[in-house]
Each structure stands twice: as structure tokens, then as C-alpha cells.
Chain A
Amino acid sequence: MAAGPYNYSYIFKYIIIGDMGVGKSCLLHQFTEKKFMADCPHTIGVEFGTRIIEVSGQKIKLQIWDTAGQERFRAVTRSYYRGAAGALMVYDITRRSTYNHLSSWLTDARNLTNPNTVIFLIGNKSDLEAQRDVTYEEAKQFADENGLMFLECSAKTGDNVEDAFLDTAKKIYQNIQDGSLDLNAAESGVQHKPATPRTTLNTDQQPSDKGCAC
């Protein structure tokens, strides 16, 4: 297939999961385009976004799979977990129901990904403090209990969005470095491109896709 030259040495596959309307696509858009998409349509099945980041001097292409949150797509989206190196599990801090469904999403994430997949819990819409329905503390406790990384973000303001994606990448890269993530494993979610001589490329990056397809 497409074996063109790339200016990065790794590809990490991320998958964003969570209830409908928690802002998964907006988080992706904020991360890839640094813009807030006010009226985001429902995602059908899965959409994609990419961005090249740098971790420890290594250029890493994040291939982000933004899944549909609607329950009817649940069966479809379950096919896409496989081979994800990172899973961003999103809930809406202003809607407790989205928080309550986390265990279900977490079960899917645990069952359908490999044991080394980094799961990052994101409490979105942190800009809507007045309507907060889930405290930071209880979410933090949930994250700690389940060994998840955790941040409260705002896709609207962009607060912490970058950190959530980058921290996940750092954790994955760390797993690669300490050998706990086997790149040769089929489901590692990481593609290494050691043969490429372009790891230190400093030219302007290819603009990521024509926007997320929301």
C-alpha cells in the first residue's frame, strides 16, 4: 500500500471513546486544528485526525480514531479498538451519566485493546465550572483506582487538551523505551519506521487532514 516517505519515526494509534456528546470530536479538532468546533455533527462510525508531535526528540505521528459515541454504533466502534496504543476515555463533567458510563467504556477498552494500552481519562468541558456535576476529586479517585491517567480539559478553551494527548504519547514512548511495549507485537498500536532517514526532518510538516470529518 502507500509506502511513501514520512518524516516521523513512529505512528501511535489513539482511540477516543466515551458517551455521545461528551466532546470527543471537539477534543480531536482542538488538538489537530487548535480550534473549537461549535456545532459538531454526530460522528458516524469513526473519524480520523492526525498530528505529528515530538517526544524525547522523536517525531511521532498520532493517528487518532475518533469513534461515534452513539449507542447504536457501539457494535461498529468496538471493531476499532484493536491495535490502539492509547485510549482517551472522555466524559462530560456537567453530565454525571457520562461519568457513570465510564466503567462500561473502560471494560471495552480493557477487553479490546492490549494490556499495554495507555488509557487516559479526560473530564471534558472543564470551562463549564458552574454546571459541574462530577467533582475532580471523585474522578481522580476513579482514575487512581483503575490505574488511569487523568486530566480535566476543555475542548472549548483548549485547556489541558494538548497535555492529555502529549502525556499519553510520552507514556507510550516510555513503555517502548523500557521494553514493556513490544513493537513487534501485532497489536502494539505502534508502527516504527526505523528505515526512514527523515527522523530529524525540520521542514514544515504536512498540514494534517482537511479537518476532522465531524
Chain B
Amino acid sequence: MSDSDEDFASADEGEVDSTPASGSSKELKAEKDVPTVSNVEKKDDSKPPSKSDSFKSQSQENTSTGKKKGKGKDEKKNDENKASEASGGKGNVPAKESEVKSKGKKGKNKDRGKKNANKGVEPKENKTESEKSSTVPNTQEENVEEIKPEPVDISDVQEASNTSSDNVKVDNARNDKEENDKADTDVAKSQVVDNESASAKDNVDISPKSNIETDSNSGSKGDNKDLSEDNLTDSPSGKLTIEQKADMIKSPSSQSISRPKPDHTDKQEEVLDKLSSSAKEKSSGGWGWGWGSSLLDVASNSVSTFTNQVGEGFNTVLETVESTLNMPNPEELARQNTADNNQDDDNDVSKPEKDGNKTVPKEEEKSPSLSKDGEPDKTAEDKTETSNQSAADKGSSESSSGWFSSWGVSNITKMVESTSKNLVTGSLDVLETLGKKTFDVINEHDPGLRKARAFLHDQGDKPNLSAILRDAKEQEEVRVQHEKETEEARKAHFGSLFDDYQGLAHLEALEMLSNQCEKKVNVILNNLPAETIASIKPQLLLIKQNFEIDDDDDDDDVVQQEFDKLVTDILHNLNVGTTPDKLIKTRQSIEDNVKQCNETAENSKIKEIHRVAISSLAEFTSKSIEQFHKAGELILIKKTKDYNFVDCSNLLRSFTKILTTETGILSTNFTECLNKMEGDDEIKVNHLVTNIFLEASNSSSYIQDGFRLLLPVIQQAAIECSQEPE
């Protein structure tokens, strides 16, 4: 059933696509089709409510059943038309054309994409493109609707076969036609009649088969009506399938039995033959008629293709259910059944098969390769279904009760079968409805399903989940490895450690302070009177001299210095309120680190010693910068009049010297520690020692930078202090 859903979808689209074309079509056929469709719609509106209102209004239901039968016949007729044309020796060219077209139609049913390709195949037919497209929707419409009435049709066919005589059927068929005539609008009817009567005339002249009992006009008229009936009945039944399928299943007996099918009397077959031959004639004759007939062929062709597919699918389902339920051979059941019921003996066992084939999928015509088993199976199934349905129902009608009694022993089995089949058909209907609803919902927001298709297509392009996961895993491994390395490197990275110890922040703050002071000094100097500047200038120059660190005096041979004492003294002399507590504490902890490194002189600890060394240098440098920063802040707020800023700068210079010397001592201590671990990994040790010395010099650079940043601070302080008294 999913297949049919797909087809349904594509048919729908086709209809939408070609609607404008049908509006503009001028051909007779096209004009005929359009009003017919509108008729259908009118019927649609009027019928379903009355049905849903009452189960008892059988006349209404009967009407619809009759129409369905008409449709079945119509299909048959179309198929014959097509068959005769395809096989006919005359009019080879048109026949070919029609075949091409029919292929195209098939393609459309299955794959909309082929539509363009088909157009390409028939360049000659450009003129009639609109006409063709106007027919296409109709055909597709039929196809679509055909899926749904299928179960009903099956029962109908079966009933028809069971209710014996052909005459009765014909009568009924005529009744149907008359009913429909009333319903039809005159316009549609007259158009149809015009068209077909014309063809009928042709037939009378040419075809020898056209010895129909009724006059050609009425016969063709009936057929024409069937054509329109086809459309009429299709949509209501389609609606029924969706909305009232349950009702249909429960009460089919009354419908089908009281309204036997006017199926394939000789008369009708002759009409069909006539039609087909006329189609042949037409196609071999003028262009216009040839197109009309070939269009008919195409329509019938696609209809039968479609019905075939659906029929097969349905058959498979039934067979599966049947085999699962261990049912008796349906063919036998069918024979028994028909023998019991067909008292007129017009139709023997083969008759129901024939009927079934005609109404349901035209398997014989379309796919003769299909196994013979399939067809009787199907027919038998149809019968059993209907009878069981009627049994399940109250079994109101007489013929159904007769039917029912004939079943006898296998009654219980049939009950089971019918229940299960109801289940199956019910479920299928639900699925179908779901599918249609889903499609409608999607199509509503996504016309042509373009987005959906693009989405699905994109999905295909994307790498699958496992690939993504695998990639992610690899990346994660690489990342973890990288992180380990970088983390290790970071632990021994002077810069980041310097940041961690807030040395960077203090340096940044000191820089900001310095920049601010520098600006302010410039502003002050520009605004001061010349004599005041002259009075301050010597002091400022002296201060500046103290900040010019000459690299000559780095007689860094100092191996030991009383760091704590020196620093404490200097900061005391500086007299700005800052204490070297942190600095001293830090240096002591570094000393402890060095001792520890010497004690645990193990080869495996090379890296660790290096790390501690770098970390110690970073921390020491940070505290040194902090010391400068604090000193600068405190000097800046020093408002003591007699404060000697030249001395201050000198002290700070000494202080810087002590700090840089200390970094040299500390680095030497660590490298000595490393060098003790001579042995296997000399290259590595040398590399690490070099690195420590490098970072020690880096450290010294930071310290000297910090010191230099103090110059504007001291300058500003000096100027401000000199200004204060005035």
C-alpha cells in the first residue's frame, strides 16, 4: 500500500502541475474532461453526507456501487481500445505514438522526474502538449482513486458474477446510467455524447464488429456515460475509503447484491471492440481523432498499470493472511460458491475469474506472464470477503442469506477469515489514511516536497555517525595529548608562571601608573614657569641619571649576598612604607627548593628541578615587580617635603642590582643542582641548564623594566613635592 501512497502523491502533484494546462486546452477531449471533473465535484458534495447520515439509505449507496461497476467496465473498454490499437496492423505510427505516450504516463505515475524526459521523446507533439497534460491529471486522478475503491470493487465484481444473468446486469447497468444521466449536467453529457457518437459513426462504417443489439447511438451513449460515471463514482468512493471505509466494510452486502454489475455482456464487449477499432481508425485517420483515441489509450493504459500494481499488492496481502490462517484453498471455495449461486449457468466457474480480472487489476491483459493461480485466488478471496462481510453484518438482503447458507461447514473458518481480513483491510486503510494525512501536512508547508527531498539528500551527503564519532575520538586523543604537553610546558613556562604569580598584572599596573605619570610630568613641565623648571631641573636630571643602567657594571661574580638584609635596609631607607616581607619570604622558599633539589638528586628529577627553577624565578620576578609597583605607588603619594627623590632613585637602582644579582644566584643554584645529575642525559641537562639561564636573564630584564617604569613616577613625585611648598 505504500507504493500506492507514493503514486498517489506523485499523481497529486501531477494534477497540480497540469491544472493550468487543462484550463487552456482547446481540444475536444480536454474540454470534455474538465466539465466532467466539475461534475464529480458536485456529486462529491452531495453524496457523502447522505451516506454518513444513514446506513439504511441503500439507494444512495447502490447508486454509487452501480457507478463503480460502470467504471470497471469503462476500464476494460479502455484497455481493449489500447490493446487493439497496439496490436492492430493499421495506423502503425499512431499506435507507436500512443505507446510512447503510455510509457510516459506510466513513468509519471511512478516517477515524476521522467515527465520531462517524456516530453523530450515526443517533440512532434508540442502542439498537443496542453491537451495531453490536460488528460494526464484526469488519468492520474482515476488512478489515485482506484486504489481506494479497490476493496469495494472486488465485492462488486463478485456480486455481479454471482447474480447470474447478463440481462439483469445490463438492465441494472442501464438503470445506473439513467440515474447518472439525471445527475449529470447536460453540458457534460452532450459533450460526451458528441464526442463518442462521432466515433460511433465511424465505427459503424468501418468496423464489422459493430453489430450491436442496441443502436450505436445509445450504446455509445451508455459508454460515454460510463466514462463520466467513472469520474463520478471515483471521487465519492475515494472519499468513502478515507472517511467511511468502516461503514463500507460492514455493510457491503446490501450494496453489492442489490446492484449487480453490468459486466461484460456480449453486447458490451462488442461496444468495447467497436470503440477500440474506432480508436484504431481514428488514429490512422486524421490528427485530431488520432489524438483523441491515443489519449484514451494512454489513460486506460496507465489505469490498468496502476490497478495491476494495487491488485498484486492486495493479492499478496490476502494470500499471506490466508496462509497464516491455514485457510482452505480459495480456488475451491470460489468454485463451490459460484456453482451454488449461479443458477443460470451462463457463467461457469471461469466466469467469476473473468469478472474479477476485468474489474480489479487487468492482469490478463497487462501482464499475461502473471501466474494463473493468482487470479482465481483473488476472485475467490473477493467472494469470501464479501460473503463474510455480509455475514458479519446483519445480513439483511435475501441473496446474501442464500450465499451465507451455502457456505455450510466452513462457516467458522470463514468467520475467522473475515475478521482477520477486516483487520487487515482496516489496518491498511488506517495506514493509507495516515500516509495521505502525513503527505498533506508535509505538502502543505513544503509544496513539491522540495525541502523534504533536499533534507533527505543532504542527510546522505553527511558523514555517518560512526565516522563522526571516530573522528571525534581521534581528535580528542590528539587534543588530550596536546594538552598534556602544553600543560607540562606551561608548568615550566616562565611567562605563564609570571602571570600566575600576578607579576604580569603588577607590571601592567606599574606601566599604567608610569604612563599616567609621564603624561602628567609633561603637562606640569609645560605649564610651569621657566624659573621653576630651572630650579627643579638639576634634581630631575640626577634622578634620570640614576635610571640609566649601564650594563658594564655587571660584575656578576657575586656568589652570595645577604639578600634579606640588603633588601630590608634599602626599603627602610627608601622610607615610603613598603616592606620586603613578601620578597624575602619568596626568596627563602626558593632557597628551600634548591636545597630540596640537591638532596633528592635523582636522575628522573631533571625535569622537575627545571620546573621548580623556572617557577622560582617567575615567582621571584613577580614579587620584585610587585615591590617596584608598591614602591612607585607609595612614592607617588609621598607628600613629605624634605624627601630626597635623588636618593630614592639611587636606592631603587641599588635595589634593582640586588634583585638581578639574586636571580643570577638562584639560577646558578638550580643549574648546579642539575649539573650534579650528570650521566646519561647530558644533552637534556645542558638544554635545561641553558633554559634556566635564559629565563634568569629574562627575569632580570623584567626587573629592570620595572625599575625604569618608576622614573616618571619619581619625576612626578619630585615635581609635585617641589611645587607643594609654593
| A residues at B contact (CB < 8 Å) | 1-6, 44-46, 48, 50, 63, 65, 72-73, 75-76, 79-80, 82, 197-198, 201, 203, 206, 209-210, 213
Given A75-B637, A76-B633: A45 in contact with B509 (beta carbons within 8 A): yes
Contact A45 B490 (CB under 8 A): no
CA distance A210 to B618 in the complex (A): 13
In the A-B complex, list the 6 residue pairs whose CB atoms are closest, starting with the nearest. A2-B495, A4-B496, A45-B633, A79-B516, A48-B505, A4-B493
Which single member of B495, B513, B634 contacts A3 (CB below 8 Å)? B495
B483 within 8 A of A: yes
B265 within 8 A of A: no
Q: Closest B-chain residue to A202, C-beta based?
A: B483
Given A5-B490, A72-B637, A75-B636: A45 in contact with B630 (beta carbons within 8 A): yes
- Could you jot down 30 A-B contacts, CB within 8 Å? A1-B504, A2-B494, A2-B496, A2-B498, A2-B499, A3-B495, A4-B490, A4-B493, A4-B495, A44-B633, A44-B634, A45-B513, A45-B633, A45-B634, A48-B502, A48-B509, A63-B505, A73-B633, A73-B637, A75-B637, A76-B513, A76-B636, A79-B512, A80-B512, A82-B512, A198-B483, A198-B486, A203-B487, A206-B500, A213-B502
CB distance from A103 to the nearest CB of B (A): 24
CA distance A48 to B496 in the complex (A): 16
Q: Closest A-chain residue to B576, C-beta based?
A: A44
CB distance from B641 to the nearest CB of A (A): 16
B433 within 8 A of A: no
B209 within 8 A of A: no
Given A2-B498, A209-B501: A65 in contact with B582 (beta carbons within 8 A): no
CA distance A198 to B504 in the complex (A): 21
Given A44-B634, A48-B506, A206-B500: A213 in contact with B582 (beta carbons within 8 A): yes
Residues of A within 8 A of B506 (CB): 48
* Prevailing SS type, chain B contact patch: helix
CB distance from A32 to the nearest CB of B (A): 11
Q: Closest A-chain residue to B626, C-beta based?
A: A213
B325 within 8 A of A: no
Residues of B within 8 A of A80 (CB): 509, 512-513
Q: Closest B-chain residue to A77, C-beta based?
A: B633
CA distance A48 to B515 in the complex (A): 20
CB distance from B510 to the nearest CB of A (A): 9
CB 8 Å contact bits of B624-654 with A (1 = contact, 0 = none): 0010011001101100000000000000000
CA distance A65 to B509 in the complex (A): 9
> Which of A50, A79, A82 has the most B CB atoms < 10 Å from its CB?
A79
> Which of A1, A72, A80 has the most B CB atoms < 10 Å from its CB?
A1
Q: Closest A-chain residue to B496, C-beta based?
A: A4
Residues of B within 8 A of A5 (CB): 486, 489-490, 493, 496
Contact A201 B499 (CB under 8 A): no
CB 8 Å contact bits of B550-580 with A (1 = contact, 0 = none): 0000000000000000000000000001100
CA distance A80 to B513 in the complex (A): 8
Contact A197 B504 (CB under 8 A): no
Residues of B within 8 A of A50 (CB): 502
Q: Closest A-chain residue to B705, C-beta based?
A: A1
CA distance A52 to B388 in the complex (A): 78
Residues of A within 8 A of B582 (CB): 213
CB 8 Å contact bits of B569-598 with A (1 = contact, 0 = none): 000000001100010000000000000000
B479 within 8 A of A: yes
B605 within 8 A of A: no
CB 8 Å contact bits of B498-535 with A (1 = contact, 0 = none): 11111011110100110110000000000000000000
CA distance A108 to B557 in the complex (A): 50
CA distance A104 to B261 in the complex (A): 102
| B residues at A contact (CB < 8 Å) | 479, 482-483, 486-487, 489-490, 493-502, 504-507, 509, 512-513, 515-516, 577-578, 582, 626, 629-630, 633-634, 636-637
Given A80-B509, A201-B483: A209 in contact with B633 (beta carbons within 8 A): no
Q: Closest A-chain residue to B500, C-beta based?
A: A206
Residues of B within 8 A of A1 (CB): 495, 504, 507
CA distance A75 to B720 in the complex (A): 13
CA distance A50 to B503 in the complex (A): 12
Which single member of B496, B500, B515, B629 contacts A45 (CB below 8 Å)? B629
Residues of B within 8 A of A79 (CB): 509, 512-513, 515-516
Residues of A within 8 A of B513 (CB): 45, 76, 79-80
Q: Closest A-chain residue to B499, C-beta based?
A: A2
CB distance from A42 to the nearest CB of B (A): 10
CB distance from A100 to the nearest CB of B (A): 24
CA distance A75 to B504 in the complex (A): 22
Contact B637 A76 (CB under 8 A): yes
Which single member of B479, B490, B502 contacts A197 (CB below 8 Å)? B479
CB distance from A97 to the nearest CB of B (A): 22
CB distance from A69 to the nearest CB of B (A): 14
> Which of B494, B506, B509, B629 has the most A CB atoms < 10 Å from its CB?
B509
Contact A2 B509 (CB under 8 A): no
Given A79-B513, A80-B512: A4 in contact with B499 (beta carbons within 8 A): yes
Residues of A within 8 A of B482 (CB): 197
Residues of B within 8 A of A198 (CB): 483, 486
CA distance A132 to B542 in the complex (A): 54
Q: Closest A-chain residue to B507, C-beta based?
A: A1
Residues of A within 8 A of B512 (CB): 79-80, 82
CA distance A92 to B642 in the complex (A): 38
CA distance A99 to B498 in the complex (A): 37
CB distance from A22 to the nearest CB of B (A): 20
Which single member of B479, B504, B626 contacts A2 (CB below 8 Å)? B504
Q: Closest B-chain residue to A70, C-beta based?
A: B637
CA distance A44 to B497 in the complex (A): 23
Contact B500 A209 (CB under 8 A): yes
CB distance from A202 to the nearest CB of B (A): 9
CA distance A213 to B513 in the complex (A): 19
**Given A79-B512, A209-B501, 10 other A-B contacts at CB below 8 A?**
A4-B490, A5-B486, A5-B496, A45-B630, A63-B505, A76-B636, A79-B516, A82-B512, A197-B482, A209-B502
Residues of B within 8 A of A213 (CB): 502, 582, 626
CA distance A206 to B491 in the complex (A): 9
CB distance from B610 to the nearest CB of A (A): 16
CB distance from B391 to the nearest CB of A (A): 68
Contact A210 B516 (CB under 8 A): no
CB distance from A196 to the nearest CB of B (A): 10
Residues of B within 8 A of A45 (CB): 509, 513, 629-630, 633-634
Q: Closest B-chain residue to A47, C-beta based?
A: B502
CA distance A213 to B622 in the complex (A): 12
CA distance A79 to B504 in the complex (A): 16
Which single member of B483, B501, B502, B626 contacts A203 (CB below 8 Å)? B483
Q: Closest A-chain residue to B479, C-beta based?
A: A197
CB distance from B630 to the nearest CB of A (A): 5
Residues of A within 8 A of B636 (CB): 75-76
Residues of B within 8 A of A201 (CB): 483
Residues of A within 8 A of B490 (CB): 4-5, 206
Q: Closest A-chain residue to B632, C-beta based?
A: A45
CA distance A213 to B634 in the complex (A): 16
CA distance A210 to B586 in the complex (A): 11
CB distance from B475 to the nearest CB of A (A): 10
CA distance A63 to B508 in the complex (A): 12
CB distance from A57 to the nearest CB of B (A): 17
CA distance A44 to B486 in the complex (A): 35
Given A79-B516, A209-B501, A213-B582: A46 in contact with B637 (beta carbons within 8 A): no
CA distance A203 to B488 in the complex (A): 12
CB distance from B587 to the nearest CB of A (A): 14
CA distance A201 to B476 in the complex (A): 11
Contact B500 A46 (CB under 8 A): no
CA distance A22 to B437 in the complex (A): 69
Residues of B within 8 A of A3 (CB): 495
Q: Closest A-chain residue to B505, C-beta based?
A: A48
> Which of A1, A2, A210 has the most B CB atoms < 10 Å from its CB?
A2
CA distance A48 to B500 in the complex (A): 11
Residues of A within 8 A of B495 (CB): 1-4
